[in-house]
Structure 1
Amino acid sequence: MSMKVNNFEDFKLENLYLSELRSVVSLYKQLVNQNSSSEHVNSVEELTIDFGLPLAVLLEAKQVVGYAAAIVNPYHQVEINCIFFDEIHRHEFQDALIAKAKNNFNQAFEDGEQQLLRLTSAIERLIYWLNL
């Protein structure tokens, strides 16, 4: 039996705003630290290019519970990566969150051979700024 999220009206898919960036970074670090076998309490101090460029968020009662980011995968292709606070949220909202992020990505980065370069540059600038 799969658990369903009860009240969809409590959830909102939104564009990412600067005010939510701190929550997105916190969610990312929390998840990466959970998945790392490191003994350090804060194994992620600095963000790396793997953080990507966040494009859309899932909010529950104004709290960020998930987000989608554009990343450059190991094959040098653009990919939308979703991170969720809870796997139930992934089950319910991943497709819609990916669609919203792709739409935002396509509006910001038109197709072409420069797309990957511009995305990489945008990610690098963002993580440099966030790591200051």
Structure 2
Amino acid sequence: MDTTKTTNIQFDSINISSLKSVVNIYQSKVKDSENKFAKSSSHFGLPLSIASFDNRVIGYAFVAINKAGKPEINSYWEQEFYSVEAEQDLKFHAQNAFFTAFKDPETRTNKIQNAAEKLFNWLNVCN
């Protein structure tokens, strides 16, 4: 696969059916001895968008609160599918989802932190 082209990669909003793939990608990046989520909800963030290739989730973008207390969009990928162009497209899609979901800048940080923590805890219990 030519990873410099994004024409065959599709970008979509996160949904419940893609969460297992998101968890698998995250766990491949960061694991602890019990195969539960390592780190914290602030590291996992709040997933917003997925990238898929041939109906397989290959990456996802998430929003997390950075050390300066500001929302920041990051992504995790299956290594063989990563490219700068694909990452930019995924983050653009995630940014649109972010501004749709978190319109009020005054409450944005708290809402993101609460949602990420609830999702992280729920996934930790389910996984």
Instruction: Please tell me the TM-score bracket, short chain as reference.
Output: 0.7 to 0.9
Query: What is the DSSP-based 3-state SS (H/G/I as helix, E as strand, rest coil) of the residue aligned with 1:76?
Result: coil
Instruction: Name the counterpart of 2:45.
Output: 52
Q: Select 2:113's aligned residue among 80, 99, 120.
A: 120
Q: Aligned-residue CA RMSD in angstroms?
A: 2.1
Residues 71 and 46 of structure 1: is their aligned pair in 2 closer, same or farther, counting only changes over 3 Å? same
Instruction: Name the counterpart of 2:13.
Output: 15
Instruction: Name the counterpart of 1:92.
Output: 85
Q: Provide the TM-score with structure 1 as the length reference.
A: 0.82
> Runs of 4 or more off by more than 4 Å in structure 1?
6-9
Within 2, Cα distance between the matches of 1:90 and 1:8?
Answer: 8
Structure 2 counterpart of 1:119, one-letter code: I
Within 2, Cα distance between the matches of 1:128 and 1:84?
Answer: 22
Structure 2 residue runs of 5 or longer lacking an equivalent are: none
Structure 1 residue runs of 5 or longer lacking an equivalent are: none
How far did 1:112 drift? 2.1
**Bigger Rg, structure 1 or 2:** 1
1:13, 1:97 within 8 Å by CA — same for their partners in 2?
A: yes
How far did 1:9 drift? 4.6
Residue-by-residue CA offset, 1:83-108 (whole Å, 9 max, x unaligned): 11026523230111111101001000
How far did 1:127 drift? 0.9
Q: Provide the TM-score with structure 2 as the length reference.
A: 0.85
